[in-house]
Structure 1
């Protein structure tokens, strides 16, 4: 009995000890879980029942200076297939691939291989060679196929509204959404915005539990950026380059339009080019921004710098004479572009004729001060380094190359050839910046591409870019005026090489350039021009690299391209024609010529009738034998075209008497582009032009009420083309009558 009791007590003791150990272990474990590992286990549980979603911000749009959208974010989709569901369907991978391939621009074999995979549950139908995102229309076409397991994943993509227009200015976003070149890369921080986050509870199936609290940290959308680019000018420039490429077949072409008073870029275009919406089709040559990333010998356009330096230093005397044709420098004979030259001529004539000898002589008079001016005009430390100085424009940019400083110390030849743009190289944007300084009074500006930053929702201006002078007083105002006068003579003088750029009625100055290329029978030809010559508001640079003609020069090849651009661009920018003939200074005609104009029986001085009663204005115009056309039903003249001043007696004066939305469209057919532009400007209509010459057709029919219309398309044709078209219409009309 005692033994039994002892055994029982022993058993109870063992059981007690076991229970104590178990309880101790359990308590210890609970302490470990609740104390030591509490945060870790809580986080693991949170990851299971709380889902975190990154909220992508909307990327800001890119606009031109007039508010037209150039690039924006749009809805897009990625096509994916949930394979377990696809396998349950009755469509084979091969048949599905046959239907999907033409819509997704993928090979049938690639799609079939992905649909046959057994190691994954879902595949995305995309390829690295293309932009794998598809539009809503393509998504709808795919979904209409009714293939099991095929679904669309919403996303966004960048869309460039004008396709290849201003491609090198805009850049693009690649498949990963990363910015590549252009404004997309330069202003990425302004446009990318800040991602947000959303946290919500979910059940074991991943479905949101609506009754539980949701935390939401909204994204901050990116800002819109407004460029200095004018879409209308950009279109004119690109069309002109297309025509030049078709005519001359160069390996490359570039054009830049800038406001010389502040450095704002109004247009920048290159050929070849590409479509940012299809960046994957572009090669390196097409992606290259020639205007900022290619360097060339500038040729004779560089003579502007030598001329400005010589004028500033008092070395240029326009009436002094020299023997043209050739000059010897360090036992090397340098020649004018015309064999034998022009005999004994003045330095002013040498500028008009683009005489190399004249500029070599000017450089020799300048001595080493020539080096200082090359640097001050922004090309870099001439005589001290080989690498030039970039302009600082917000785009990928090369620096240019200068002559070897050692060779400059050993020989006078390098400086001599530099005087007319040989032996050194620069980018087109460097040249435009330097030439702007020569004609704007002596201020070198950083080229500006960003005009302002706007709030994406309200449109409020958050930041405005101010002009950034790099260097002031390079030359004096007086010197700059003389430069403009001499360059005016290059375009308008009897002997000027830039006569091909002349536009009747406008005061234009400029300089041609032709640079030989090593190991090529063809040249680099260019022209830089500005208007108005007395107070430049716009400067234009155009260049063709190796046009397919061994006789091509800046004068006979590029100057006419510049004229085409000037003819359409100047009225668009509301740059008024110069009254009467131009004086030698490229400015306002003399008082004597104004008197002559008044005495000319074919012209009349048109008064300003704005603000007058309509009946009074009509009587006044009738007394001057001027026809008038009234736009609107008001009784007071609100505006008039043309403005007051000397006009041809054959001109019709248009009198606006109501707000444009209330009037009907006048007939612009057979009018000059300048007159048509003036009328459209008075009516608040943005003009898009197709062709050259006189107005042949207009998109708003004469007599149609304008209402809220804000733009019009004008088709231009030459006189010969118009007569031919009218004859064809008359013949067709007669044939219809006979039928």
Structure 2
């Protein structure tokens, strides 16, 4: 019996010694090796993943202003193989980064494991706590992330990329429309050797003028508030070239913190919504009628304040009669009855054909995703009257 106890004691002593050696081998002798592996993984990721191209706004002088760029942010990561007490480390770390310690314990308890990302885009306070605490096996490094220096200016145009760091592709706006151009080409591996380096993404230069965009948003925000409107949109176009100089929509959002905004905010009404154009459509009516020879700018019309058209009575916005007016004056004073007269003189079929030629049934193919086609009903369709 004594020999058996002695044998068991010797067995467990040897087993314990082997365990101590294993821990020593992992924590001390191979510590540098695991750090090297972690660095190698990080470096390999840098070489394989191309740098995303930038997005720029311009102005009338051709000066460029960065609207979407890459900026280094601190990432907190762990080398689990170096951690003596995962539970204790998880408890300390959870208080710093406000994360469930149970989930952290699972991550930190992985062995063998030379690298585990813990928190992307850590705050300065969190980074300082990690560095000051000198928590064994927990480190901080810098990694590139998308940054939008103009904050909420032009957000609907610029868009944003996914918060998924393993797949940070564009999911909205220009970031989505030109995602392939901005993303570049990833490198290729053969085993653990890089056989093809990554190719960085290309930059995108937009016609948006930063100053006009900012001023458009400022004015629009004030008007929406003054009139207690739910939303508003402004588009500024250069007539001779068709360049879009500004495209403002309210409410907006900050693409750096887009997750804080409701999903309804990510509808860009300038391209993703249809609306009844109202009085600005008089310009289209007049242009079509003049081009077809149905009227001239000097054609006169006697306005009595109301016009019956297809059984519907059309009145002026000011409920006044303007008497004898030219078509030029109809536009100047926004006279509803005069515009209706021009459309009637042109004729339904010709008017409809001109609307198609003007592109109201087609996309403009603007460089933004989700553009919708205008709703132009057939002539025989029954439509509700416009008040």
Map of 2:18 onto structure 1:
none
Map of 1:133 onto structure 2:
121
CA offsets per residue over residues 5-25 of structure 1, 9 Å max, x none? xxxxxxxxxxxxxxxxxxxxx
The counterpart of 2:52, out of the listed 43, 56, 59, is 59
Q: Which has the higher contact order (CA 8 A, sep 6+)?
A: 2
Displacement, 1:261?
Answer: 1.4
Displacement, 1:348?
Answer: 3.3
* Counterpart-to-counterpart distance in 1, 2:345 and 2:212: 41
* Counterpart-to-counterpart distance in 2, 1:187 and 1:246: 34
CA offsets per residue over residues 166-190 of structure 1, 9 Å max, x none? 1111111011202112111111222
The counterpart of 1:332, out of the listed 312, 316, 326, is 312
The counterpart of 2:96, out of the listed 79, 95, 99, is 99
The counterpart of 1:225, out of the listed 184, 199, 204, is 204
Displacement, 1:355?
Answer: 1.3
Displacement, 1:198?
Answer: 6.5
Map of 1:255 onto structure 2:
234
TM-score normalized with structure 1 length: 0.41
Map of 1:9 onto structure 2:
none
The counterpart of 2:377, out of the listed 392, 397, 403, is 403
Q: Mark the CA change 1:274 to 1:188 in structure 2 (over 3 Å): closer, same or farther.
A: same
Displacement, 1:373?
Answer: 1.3
Q: Mark the CA change 1:115 to 1:137 in structure 2 (over 3 Å): closer, same or farther.
A: closer
The counterpart of 1:184, out of the listed 175, 180, 183, is 175
Unaligned segments of structure 2, at least 5 residues: 1-39
Task: Please say if 1:76 is aligned against 2:76.
Answer: no
* Counterpart-to-counterpart distance in 2, 1:233 and 1:348: 30
Give yes or no for contact 1:272–1:285 (8 Å, CA) kept in 2: no
* Counterpart-to-counterpart distance in 1, 2:263 and 2:304: 44
Give yes or no for contact 2:97–2:126 (8 Å, CA) kept in 1: no
Which structure: larger Rg? 1
Unaligned segments of structure 1, at least 5 residues: 1-49, 102-109, 127-131, 202-213, 381-388, 423-515, 517-739
Map of 2:14 onto structure 1:
none
Give yes or no for contact 1:257–1:266 (8 Å, CA) kept in 2: yes
Displacement, 1:263?
Answer: 1.5
Task: Please say if 1:111 is aligned against 2:100.
Answer: yes
Count of matched residue positions in the alignment of Structure 1 and Structure 2: 331
* Counterpart-to-counterpart distance in 1, 2:129 and 2:360: 56
TM-score normalized with structure 2 length: 0.76
* Counterpart-to-counterpart distance in 1, 2:117 and 2:249: 37
* Counterpart-to-counterpart distance in 2, 1:141 and 1:318: 78
Three-state SS of the structure 1 residue aligned to 2:344 is: helix
Three-state SS of the structure 1 residue aligned to 2:208 is: coil
* Counterpart-to-counterpart distance in 1, 2:190 and 2:131: 31
Task: Please say if 1:360 is aligned against 2:340.
Answer: yes
Displacement, 1:296?
Answer: 0.8
Superposed counterparts of 1:249-648, under 5 Å: 249-314=228-293, 315-318=295-298, 320-367=300-347, 368-380=349-361, 389-396=362-369, 397-407=371-381, 422=386
Q: CA RMSD of the aligned region, Å?
A: 3.0
CA offsets per residue over residues 410-439 of structure 1, 9 Å max, x none? xxx88xx6xxxx4xxxxxxxxxxxxxxxxx
Q: Mark the CA change 1:243 to 1:137 in structure 2 (over 3 Å): closer, same or farther.
A: same
Displacement, 1:83?
Answer: 4.6
* Counterpart-to-counterpart distance in 2, 1:347 and 1:89: 82
* Counterpart-to-counterpart distance in 2, 1:137 and 1:224: 33
Give yes or no for contact 2:73–2:142 (8 Å, CA) kept in 1: yes
Three-state SS of the structure 1 residue aligned to 2:373 is: coil
Displacement, 1:322?
Answer: 1.1
More helix by share: 2
CA offsets per residue over residues 140-164 of structure 1, 9 Å max, x none? 5533332232223553211111111
The counterpart of 2:138, out of the listed 150, 167, 181, is 150
Superposed counterparts of 1:655-670, under 5 Å: none
* Counterpart-to-counterpart distance in 2, 1:240 and 1:294: 21
